[in-house]
Amino acid sequence: MSGGDDRIGLKHGAGGRAMRALVEQVFLRALGGTAAPEGIGLSAMDDGAAIPVGDRWLVLTTDSHVVKPVFFPGGDIGRLAVSGTVNDLAVMGATEVTALTCAVIVEEGFPRADLERVYASLCAASDEAGAPIVTGDTKVMGRGEIDGLVLNTAGVAFCSRPVPDAGLAPGDVLVVTGTIGDHGMAVMAARHALSLEGDLRSDVAPINGLIRTALGAGGDAVAAMKDPTRGGLSSALHEMAAKSRVGIVVDERTVPVRPEVRAAADLLGIDPLVMACEGKAILGVRPRAVEAVLAALRAHPLGRGAARIGRCTDRHAGTVVLDTGYGRRILAEPEGEPLPRIC
Amino acid sequence: MATPDPLAAFREMKFRDPARAQAMIDALGRLTAAIGRSPVSLMHVCGSHEQAIAKYGLRAMFPAALRVIMGPGCPVCVTDTREVDEGVALARQGVHIATYGDMLRVPGTVMSLADAQAEGARVHVVYSAGQAVELARRLDAPVAFFATGFETTAVATAAIVLNGLPANLSILSAHKFIPPAMDMIAATPGLAVEGFLAAGHAATITGWGVFESFAARHRMPVVVAGFEPLDILAGLVKLLELVRDGTPAVANMYPRCVTRAGNLRAQEALWTVFEPVSGRWRGIADIPGGNLAFRDTFAGVDARRRFALDAAPLASPASPGLAAACLCGSIMAGISSPTDCPLFGGACTPESPVGACMVSSEGTCKIWHQYGGYPDLGDMA
């Protein structure tokens, strides 16, 4: 039996409720006496930190990446490591990346050719994002002491206005930049060797350029942003609703999901709304700018599938309601890692 | 002006059409009002029905006077503690256990199969009866298939038995038969269920005719329904029509799969191998004819007769602790809702379940937990 929470479980890293509780109980509590810097710090539990420097804001974030398998349809851990950090900066409002760092921890016995392939992919993604890697670190650990390959990237960028994930207000419209669940489903299919037909491919991509376009069109009317990685759209919306103290109503029929992903999700008994995305963002937009933001997103190659998926209300703060088209229900916040159904 | 036929979409075989769903929801409101009682209680007996009702948020759309209750429709959940104890006892004798994944964490008296596995017992998850046969062929050791489920999976078990089992494979049957449980519930005083929604997939095997004597005996309508949102809504509309008219008939709203006679070959296999016997359904009652046991002809494959099964040492006189507060039994009997349970979502979650209803993907509590609990949305929409 799982027993109490005296040991760290996999659910504590899955991006859901369990992980948030762990961060609050262990990391934030320990920081209790330390004065937080001005700006957006750890206690905001946002995608990154924002610190005022003169008349601008320094945004920084860090992210460690592990994925099984290391190479998956649509990408690999190298592309993931760059995209994850660049996108965390971008959804904070910092789309011009000054620099990235990259630390590599490799297990003894890891194929050198695979490492070279990963690094080439990482460099290509860094070029694509215009985010130069300026320093790094390499460690090798004994066989069995680490599982294959772990990449850590950190990024810094400047912006004139940080966009928090807590900026939603009643009446705001929620926009997603494209289809959801692609990354999670592609990796799950590869990991469990599920022989599913159809082209399940990860959406992993740096989307700072796409976000720049949206901010250009919407300006201050883009009130909140978040990238729905682990825990998917569901976790991201729950966090945004709770931190912004608004209710969110999502129209399930308008949430873009590729047919292959929907079919696989139905088969496995997993809701696409909890599957990770690695090249998408959720934007909370004031009503006056929704059309302009949508048009700008759709004009970008990575935003063609952008759609309006819901709205914020002043009722039931912190709750996400799903309108299924047939009825309505509360969207449960994912607790841990989604697993394929057993029977 | 004539009211548009609310079942039109269903007849055209369009199963996912929100506009037509709305027409059926409106019909539910009109019919409930015409019946004039509050509440009007209907029961379904299938985890897949509850899955669809919860997933599509249908319950939030039902008229306030209509109660749609899930009865004992989760085969894993009604598997009795004693049956789990038997499985654990077998596993502790060194017999390899093959079983469906949902069974692993169902609590026995003192431990689940997963606990036994953690202590070193050999427990294997299989996805079908056929895989239990494959497993036995691979292993040079005694294997017992801990077989659970209603008519649907019992037929698959019967089929492997009739095909001949490897000598090292025996079967611990915890199979259950739904119609006797419906009888018991229909006769429960105070439950006030006015009609049953029967599970379409089980009826593909038994045929809808199996419910005719039930409907006559209890003067209660039964409607066989499928699993798409429109299937369920159409089934409920039909059921309310029968309730309104006081017609204790059986209606088949799943004709694309279900016939009156059902699958005769499957029935023959089922009743050749099994006979209905009285047995305990967890948390509910002893149900006459509710368990499926091997006929004497097949005594040789019956794990209960092949092995000396003593589950007595597993019975614990100690305080049952949290389990004492678990409402699984009355939830499965349709008397309570998950939200009536003090443990629901707090001490009892899918990560650390107290009762079987939170373990199985067919269990009411697991389904409600997965889909956000009771849809008390007030003015949210």
Q: Domain B76-176+262-314: state its class.
A: alpha beta
Residue A342 has pLDDT above 50, yes or no: no
Same domain for A81 and A137, yes or no, is yes
Q: Is A340 on the interface with B (CB under 8 A)?
A: no
Same domain for A89 and A200, yes or no, is no
Average pLDDT value for chain B:
89
Which domain CATH number covers A71? 3.30.1330.10
CB nearest to A2's CB, from B125, B233, B352: B352
Amino acid at B100: Y
Same domain for A129 and A215, yes or no, is no
Question: Which structural domain, as residue segments, surrounds residue A23?
Answer: 1-35
**Gap from B233 CA to chain A (nearest CA, Å):** 10
CB nearest to B361's CB, from A327, A336, A341: A341
CB nearest to B56's CB, from A1, A327, A335: A327
Burial A100-129 (b: 16+ CB within 10 A, else e): bbbbbbbbeebeeebbeebbebbeebbebb
Which domain CATH number covers A325? 3.90.650.10
Pick the closest to residue B224 from B185, B268, B172, B178 (CA basis).
B178
Q: Is residue A168 part of a domain?
A: no
Q: Is A220 exposed, middle or buried (0-12, 13-18, 19+ CB in 10 A)?
A: exposed
Q: Is residue A165 part of a domain?
A: no
Same domain for A116 and A246, yes or no, is no
Same domain for A200 and A322, yes or no, is yes
Q: Is B130 on the interface with A (CB under 8 A)?
A: no
Q: Is B86 on the interface with A (CB under 8 A)?
A: no
Find chain A residues with C-beta within 8 A of B352's C-beta: 1-3
Same domain for A153 and A30, yes or no, is no
- Looking at residue B3, what is its pLDDT? 60
What does the alpha-carbon distance between residue A238 and residue A258 come to, in Å, rounded to a whole number?
A: 23
Q: What's the total number of domains in chain A?
A: 3
Give the DSSP letter of residue B334: T
Query: What is the per-residue pLDDT across B103-115, written as a single tens digit (0 to 9) for each?
Result: 888 888 888 898 8
Write out the two tokens for A64. 């460690």
Q: What is the end-to-end Cα distance of chain A in Å, rounded?
A: 21
User: B194 to each of B25, B187, B232, how far by Cα in Å?
Assistant: 19, 11, 17
Same domain for A194 and A317, yes or no, is yes
Domain boundary among A159, A183, A209: A159
Predicted TM-score (pTM) of this structure: 0.82
Same domain for A57 and A151, yes or no, is yes
Share of chain A above pLDDT 90, in %: 72
- Looking at residue B379, what is its pLDDT? 45
When pLDDT is cut at 50, 70 and 90, the band that residue A13 belongs to is confident
Query: Which residue bears the tokens 């669809």?
Result: B52
Query: What is the per-residue pLDDT across B121-134, written as a single tens digit (0 to 9) for each?
Result: 999 988 889 999 99
Find chain B residues with C-beta within 8 A of A2's C-beta: 351-352
The yes-or-no answer to whether B8-74+179-252 and B76-176+262-314 have a common fold is yes
Report the chain B residue with the minimal C-alpha distance to residue A2.
B352
- Looking at residue A65, what is its pLDDT? 93
Q: Is A192 on the interface with B (CB under 8 A)?
A: no
Same domain for A130 and A233, yes or no, is no
Same domain for A106 and A27, yes or no, is no
Q: Do B381 and A323 touch (CB under 8 A)?
A: yes
For residue A69, whether the previous peptide bond is cis, meaning omega lies within 30 degrees of 0, is yes
Q: Is B110 on the interface with A (CB under 8 A)?
A: no
Same domain for A22 and A63, yes or no, is no
CB nearest to A327's CB, from B57, B114, B115: B57
Domains in chain B: boundaries: 8-74+179-252, 76-176+262-314, 321-370
Decide if the complex's ipTM is over 0.85: no
Q: Is B100 on the interface with A (CB under 8 A)?
A: yes
Find chain B residues with C-beta within 8 A of A343's C-beta: 100-102, 127, 361
Amino acid at A33: G
Q: Is residue A41 part of a domain?
A: no
Q: Is residue A326 part of a domain?
A: yes
Find chain A residues with C-beta within 8 A of B102's C-beta: 342-343
CATH of the domain spanning B8-74+179-252: 3.40.50.11750
Same domain for A98 and A128, yes or no, is yes
CB nearest to A343's CB, from B25, B101, B372: B101
